[in-house]
Structure 1
Amino acid sequence: MSSALSTLAAVPAVMALVALAACSPGGSEARVEPPPTPPAEVAGLCAALHGELPETVAGLARTRTEPESALTAAWGGSAIVLRCGIPKPPAMADPRQEGVHVNGVAWLLEKLDNGDFRFTTGLRLAYTEVLVDKEHATDAGMLVGLSTAVAKTVPEGISTY
């Protein structure tokens, strides 16, 4: 086979790889509405958390958020979305709610009607919410890196916001 012919034969394979890369979750951006402007102390904690967040969660690459904000982050497009500095969720007051502890961080666990999950930190000076689509919520290690970042940057306590 001539050199030109083998080059032409490789074009469909290269185009397929380019198409897959363009569709990959890590290469996209996520529309994430930042929470209402939190108090300055909470915003400072969220900015510190933003700087410590992992580049990958559940094998998904960090995604640019729109609008950009130190209060938000995403991985795999909108598969996993984080918002820091949210007001205290009403579900925090319900003693029947389920929770998990990961790396010293308490998380309120809520299964949403569409099958997705919401995890919200508790007993920290800033509330952080992580929305996870049902496909990725099955990864038990998903909260490990996020919990490490929260534990490092958001002190324990009860947020008054």
Structure 2
Amino acid sequence: MTSSCRRLPHPVLLGPSAALVLLAAVGCTSTDPSASVTVPTPSSEAAAYCRALHKELPRSVAGLERTDPAPRSDLTAGWGDGAIVLRCGVARPAKMDDSQSKAAEADGVNWLLEQREDDGPRFTTTLRKAYVEVTFSAAYAHDATPLAAFAAPVKKTVPSGL
């Protein structure tokens, strides 16, 4: 496991537990491929689409190698040690009811765009039989181009419709 952290401006002496909490709070980012994500709990129909999607996902996205998060699941995938994370079978985002919501289109697949406050964007497919969510780290805050890597697999495995 490798990590990178911003340095504190002044040296601080802390006990081991407090030091770990403080390091996490000031910006440590882990590149541990076993980073954890919440596995969705879709309907059996959506889960079947997600399993098919999992088999079609690319080995690399935006030059990042695939490093699936823990726990291992056919409903989740990752690239670049958490820089890009996909979850299939997520619940329909409430933002889809907002007429002011932003969207993106990548090679024939439509995505709801949600800007996250202290991280990169989250995209969720629209008008598909299963919702596929892709989150990007802050490094992709203004770059949706990695979505193109998911278009063909989504179109092939997750049918259009509601």
State the TM-score bracket (shorter-chain normalisation): 0.7 to 0.9
Alignment of 1:58 onto 2:43: no
In the superposition, relative to structure 1, how do residues 51 and 26 fare at CA in structure 2: closer, same or farther (>3 Å)?
A: farther
Secondary structure of the structure 1 residue equivalent to 2:160:
coil
Q: Distance in 2 between matches of 1:26 and 1:55?
A: 17
Candidates 19, 28, 35, aligned match of 1:30: 35
Task: Mark the CA change 1:140 to 1:88 in structure 2 (over 3 Å): closer, same or farther.
Answer: closer
Q: In the TM superposition, what is the alpha-carbon distance from 1:27 to its structure 2 partner?
A: 7.5
Higher helix proportion, which one? 1
Q: Which structure 1 residue ranges, 4+ long, deviate > 3 Å from structure 2? A: 22-27, 137-140
The aligned counterpart of 1:93 is: 97
Q: Does 1:118 align with 2:122?
A: yes
Q: Alpha-carbon deviations, 1:25-61, whole Å to 9, x = none?
A: 98833312101x2111100000000000111111111
Query: CA RMSD for the aligned pairs?
Result: 1.8
Over the matched positions of the two proteins, sequence identity in percent amounts to: 47
* Residue 129 (str. 1) matches residue 148 (str. 2): no
Contact 2:119/2:141, CA 8 A, preserved across alignment:
no
Hey, what's the Cα distance between the residues in 2 that align with 1:67 and 1:129? Answer: 17
Structure 2 Cα separation of the partners of residues 33 and 65 of structure 1: 9
Tell me the secondary structure at the aligned position of residue 47 of structure 1.
Answer: helix
The runs of 5 or more residues in structure 1 that have no matched partner are 1-21
Deviations 1:52-92 (A, max 9, x none): 01111111110032111000000011111111001111001
Native 8 Å contact 2:102 2:112 kept in 1: yes
Greater Rg over alpha carbons, structure: 1
Does structure 2 conserve the Cα–Cα contact (< 8 Å) formed by 1:121 and 1:128? yes
8 A Cα contact 1:85 1:126, kept in partner:
yes
**Matched letter for residue 32 of structure 1:** V
Separation in 2, partners of 1:75, 1:30? 11
Residue aligning to 2:86 = 82
Match of 2:154 in 1: 150
Residue in 2 aligned with 1:10? none
Question: Aligned to 1:29, what secondary structure does the other structure show?
Answer: coil
* Aligned-partner SS, 1:125: coil
Name whichever structure is richer in strand by fraction: 1
The alignment partner of 2:88 has SS state of strand
TM-score, length basis structure 2:
0.78
> Structure 2: how far apart are the matches of 1:26 and 1:58?
16
Q: 1:97-130 deviations in whole A, cap 9, x for unaligned?
A: 1101111110001111114100000000000111
Aligned residue pairs total 136
